[in-house]
Amino acid sequence: MSLLQRLSRDGITPEISRPDPAKVVQGDPVHTTWNLEERDGLYSGLWQTTPGAWRVSYAEWEYVHIHSGHSILKGEDGSVTHLRAGDSYLIRPGFAGIWEAVETTLKDYVIRT
């Protein structure tokens, strides 16, 4: 295994999933995940969702970099954050609200539990 890895979907079989139906607020979003690293409480890869909205609650840290699309994070505290291509954000444990994918969105992610 190389100690340097480019984030790419090439050669990786994606996992296809949907949010828990009880958390879906709008639409029928489909998530596609290309996991690149899973060990020692660290997870990284690429993730894509189709349009829709669902409730989220973070118990972990997540760094995201948006490659394409448009999503909106609506916090329970009333905050509204638009995520668009080129944006990078850190989502801290305790964030709760709604993730709304306005357009199909592709992101890199690094999660630390």
User: Which of the four pLDDT bands, split at 50, 70 and 90, describes residue 11?
Assistant: very high
Residue 91 has a pLDDT of 98
How many independent structural domains does the chain possess? 1
Q: What is the mean pLDDT of residues 95-110?
A: 98
**What angle is formed at CA 56 by the lines to CA 53 and CA 58, rounded to 5 degrees?**
155
Residue 95 lies in a domain: yes
Pick the more confident residue, 6 or 71.
71
Residue 85 lies in a domain: yes
Q: What's the mean pLDDT when you consider all of the chain?
A: 97
Residue 2 lies in a domain: no
User: 76 is in which domain, residue-wise?
Assistant: 31-112
Residue 11 lies in a domain: no
Residue 90 lies in a domain: yes
Report the chain's terminal Cα–Cα distance, integer Å.
Answer: 23
Which CATH number does the domain housing residue 46 bear? Answer: 2.60.120.10
In this prediction the pTM is 0.94
